[in-house]
Amino acid sequence: MNTSNNNDSTSSNGKNTSLSPTLATHSDASMGSGGASQDTSHLGSSIWNPSYMNQSSQRPLQKQQQLQQQQNPQFCFVNPWNEEKVTNSQQNLVYPPQYDDLNTSESLDAYRRRKSSLVVPPTRAPAPNPFQYDSYPAYTSSNTSLPANNGGQYPFAYQQQQHAYQQGAIPPSQYGTRFVPSLYDRQEFQRRQSLAATNYSSNFSSVNSNANQGTSSIPTISPYRRLSAYPPSTSPPLQPPFKQLRRDEVQAQKLSIPQMQPCNSKSDLQPVLNATPKFRRASLNSKTISPLVSVTKSLITTYSLCSPDFTYQTSKNPKRVLTKPSEGKCNNGFDNINSDYILYVNDVLGVEQNRKYLVLDILGQGTFGQVVKCQNLLTKEILAVKVVKSRTEYLTQSITEAKILELLNQKIDPANKHHFLRMHDSFVHKNHLCLVFELLSNNLYELLKQNKFHGLSMDLIRTFTTQILDSLCVLKESKLIHCDLKPENILLCAPDKPELKIIDFGSSCEEARTVYTYIQSRFYRAPEIILGIPYSTSIDMWSVGCIVAELFLGIPIFPGASEYNQLTRIIDTLGYPPSWMIDMGKNSGKFMKGLTPEESGTSAQKHRMKTIEEFCREYNIIEKPSKQYFKWKKLPDIIRNYRYPKSIQNSQDLIDQEMQNRECLIHFLGGVLNLNPLERWTPQQAMLHPFITKQEFSGEWFPPGSSLPGPSGKYDSTKVQQKGHGRMSDSSGNASHNYVYNSGNVSGGADSVDIGTISKRKENISSSFLNDCVVSHSVQEGPTSEFNKLHIVEE
Ligand SMILES: Nc1ncnc2c1ncn2[C@@H]1O[C@H](COP(=O)(O)OP(=O)(O)OP(=O)(O)O)[C@@H](O)[C@H]1O
């Protein structure tokens, strides 16, 4: 490359220390004038022009050198790089002979000497002149092949022309400047041009050596190898005039060295950009390309030109595997050990013409299978395809998901107004049910993660909650229970819009067919499910309460490590469920025990949670002590004391506004996170709460048609303790109280949360929820022997 030449010129030119190196290291820019003091001790030894400078350049030094050459035909010069004296008999011709300006009185040898000016040092091959061949006739099918007996000689037509010239039939002026005969296809030639360039000069070495032996005939060129960008079998018959060099051959031949110019003024230091730079590489489209392009985006072409045996087919590329583990263990090797289809980028799912989907990337992985981003090969639409595991239990459950989505999309919400995922298609691929959905963006968990688990603004929480409640209103009216609401199953429609959709109806059921007993992801699991009592659509409202609290806090409000731990956290934060729930619950005895009259005393409470020691001893398990993520235990305290967003920390008005909003949120969450499912607000009721409607919140609010008191009364016990600097009006708006909260640098609230643990919850949920789903779904679909085998109790 030119760079190495530059290095050569600077490092080995010990004598000419005043020579400045060339400025350009890339062939796209010809070199600027290097600063130099001219050493005139011998001809041509001082300063060298870069070989790729335009030969017709009017640089005075070059002119002077040419003049000196003509005056002194027996010139010799010292190569400034190796300090060897080289006579003209040893030098290589640099460019193909240009006989157009041959003087009639001048011998060919003298002409050649004159043309091989001192501007190029000996033994160094020059760059080819890509523009020398511009006027070749167009390639025609009649001139594509060389004579079979050509033996590496020039084509016959050229030999004829050469012979005629040697016989004197053609005057030198008409001999033509074109070295490559018209027989050659211009495109093919240019494609090979730069690679052939060094060889070109190599061929001219023999030209020169012939000349030096006293012959003035145009030498023959040595046989050349066929170059091809095509597989050998499909390679066109046209053969290039030059042999392609192997790397060792290239290295053996010294390339031309950029040369120096005296630097007389500052302006000489400016690089001279050559609009049509030499040293370009060949490409397949009859153009030349820069070295950078040739080794980056045109690498395949470059390889093809370098090696005739090189073939490249996209289809043979190693494909990026998207599924883990990726070893084929089931389903004839198509599935891994978990019965997940092993997906690769560029796989095609489906076989029917308009139902072929090109796999682009993985979007998510869940209990039921993988969700991949795909492109419909016919419509070019980008979609999400859920590839369900090939096991029967997942298949049957996913058929239910498809049916519910179909019902929602076509009957319940045909206008697509209520934030339900749209399903476009479904088909089976290699024993896997594939559900084709509209492509959505991030889920809410990812959004919180992007926000460093700091929670969202009140307005955004309100916007999201309104949409979720709207969906739940429709579901409740349709008597459908989602059964797996969580941030992971609520997706943004687009990354830049606060519009969302609810996905994953794989656990959904009709309210009248609540046969599953073990449902919902643990953090969002309603107390009635944990205790094991009949449930209804209100379990989704519990999940909504957990999600809204999480959107505010950034982390789950009840991040239970086990079901025992989940219930402990709920009770610690919200109090005990009513006695009837505990009495009725099939699982109550697992986690709770009745109080003796002495223990209960005067209190109405009849039960208590088993201590962790009691629980572990009884079930012979190890239960880790509950990790506390919040400094405060009660819901109102957690919300009130959560740190302020930075944007409001310096404004008391904004802090007051924030605290009012928080009180409203606490009241809202109290109604939605009511432990008693019979009192828990319905989505229709919750939609009317001031937190959603943005009406002024007075501190008391009853859902219309409900005589039940609002939840706020339960939490009035909060004793105000001055700790931070915040002040706000209380929820009744009468008195002014100081509330406990943390300023930015005070520890507590979610600041003290071990984010690492929480952020891993997705994986934890997935693995444990696997058991949940398998167990619960077996009941609905009619127990299969496989399901019964998989009946695993989670905790
Ligand atoms: N339409 C979609 N567009 C973009 N991403 C999606 C889409 N559907 C699902 N995903 C991504 O794939 C993940 C898993 O999807 P889904 O919840 O439907 O699978 P699952 O197997 O039912 O999971 P789970 O374990 O929750 O039951 C989602 O959390 C989401 O990130």
Measure the CA–CA gap between 341 and 387, rounded to whole angstroms.
7
Measure the CA–CA gap between 550 and 765, rounded to whole angstroms.
16
Task: Please give the torsion angle defined by the CA atoms of residues 722, 725, 731 and 735, in that order, rounded to the nearest 10 degrees.
Answer: 70
Residue 127 lies in a domain: no
Measure the CA–CA gap between 792 and 795, rounded to whole angstroms.
9
Residues 538 and 551 in one domain: yes
Residue 329 lies in a domain: yes
Weakest-pLDDT range from 266-275, 285-294, 710-719, 767-776: 767-776
Residues 576 and 693 in one domain: yes
Q: Which of 702, 719, 746 is the last residue of a domain?
A: 702
Weakest-pLDDT range from 348-362, 364-378, 637-651, 703-717: 703-717
Residues 472 and 413 in one domain: no
For residue 642, give the CATH number of its domain: 1.10.510.10
Q: Residues 147-179: pLDDT tens digits?
A: 334 433 444 554 555 565 556 555 544 544 333
Answer whether 0.95 is exceeded by the pTM. no
Alpha-carbon dihedral sign for residues 190, 176, 257, 196? positive
Residues 411 and 535 in one domain: no
Residue 33 lies in a domain: no
Q: How far is the CA of 372 from the centre of ligand 1 (A)?
A: 9
Which residue has the CA at smallest separation from atom 4 of ligand 1?
440
Q: Distance between terminal CA atoms of the chain?
A: 68
**pLDDT given at position 50:** 30
Closest C-alpha to 326, from 306, 343, 302, 305: 343
Q: How far is the CA of 491 from the centre of ligand 1 (A)?
A: 9
Residue 213 lies in a domain: no
Q: How far is the CA of 437 from the centre of ligand 1 (A)?
A: 10
**Locate tokens 């937190």: which residue?**
691
Write the CB contacts of 35 (distance below 8 Å, at least 6 apart in sequence): 18, 19, 20, 262, 263, 264, 268, 269
**pLDDT given at position 599:** 79
Which residue has the CA at smallest separation from atom 12 of ligand 1?
364
Residues 382 and 505 in one domain: no
Question: What's the complex ipTM?
Answer: 0.98
**pLDDT given at position 212:** 39
Residues 523 and 378 in one domain: no
Q: Peptide bond preceding 325: is omega within 30 degrees of 0, i.e. cis?
A: yes
Residue 688 lies in a domain: yes
Q: Is 772 a catalytic residue?
A: no
Q: Which of 397, 419, 439 is the last residue of a domain?
A: 439
Write the CB contacts of 101 (distance below 8 Å, at least 6 apart in sequence): none
Of 185, 484, 637, 772, the catalytic one is: 484
Residues 456 and 385 in one domain: no
Helix, strand, coil share of the chain (percent; to 5): 40, 10, 50
Weakest-pLDDT range from 219-228, 402-411, 475-484, 533-542: 219-228
Give the residues surrounding ligand 1 with Cβ less than 6 Å away: 363-364, 366-369, 371, 384, 386, 421, 437-440, 443, 484, 488-489, 491, 503-504, 506, 766, 769
Residue 533 lies in a domain: yes
Residues 639 and 584 in one domain: yes
Residues 412 and 472 in one domain: no
In this predicted structure, the answer to whether residue 359 has a pLDDT above a threshold of 80 is: yes
**Could you tell which of 371, 437, 440, 771 is best to mutate to test the pocket of ligand 1, judged by most ligand atoms within 8 Å of the CB?**
371
Distances in whole angstroms, Cα of residue 170 to Cα of each of 98, 162, 175: 15, 9, 6
**pLDDT given at position 528:** 97
Q: How far is the CA of 364 from the centre of ligand 1 (A)?
A: 6
Average pLDDT in the 340-349 region? 95
> Alpha helix (H) ranges present in 436-562?
444-450, 458-477, 527-531, 538-553
Measure the CA–CA gap between 280 and 292, rounded to whole angstroms.
10
Residue 625 lies in a domain: yes
Q: Residues 313-337: pLDDT tens digits?
A: 777 777 899 999 999 999 999 999 9
**pLDDT given at position 429:** 96
Residue 763 lies in a domain: no
For residue 430, give the CATH number of its domain: 3.30.200.20
In this predicted structure, the answer to whether residue 540 has a pLDDT above a threshold of 80 is: yes
Residues 463 and 413 in one domain: no
> How many distinct structural domains can be found in the chain?
2
Residues 468 and 518 in one domain: yes
Residues 659 and 546 in one domain: yes
Where in the sequence is the domain holding 329, given as residue range(s)?
A: 319-439
Q: Which of 394, 415, 439 is the last residue of a domain?
A: 439
The top-scoring range by mean pLDDT among 17-31, 52-66, 193-207 is 52-66
Q: Residues 61-107: pLDDT tens digits?
A: 445 555 544 544 333 333 333 333 333 333 333 333 344 555 556 66
In this predicted structure, the answer to whether residue 619 has a pLDDT above a threshold of 70 is: yes
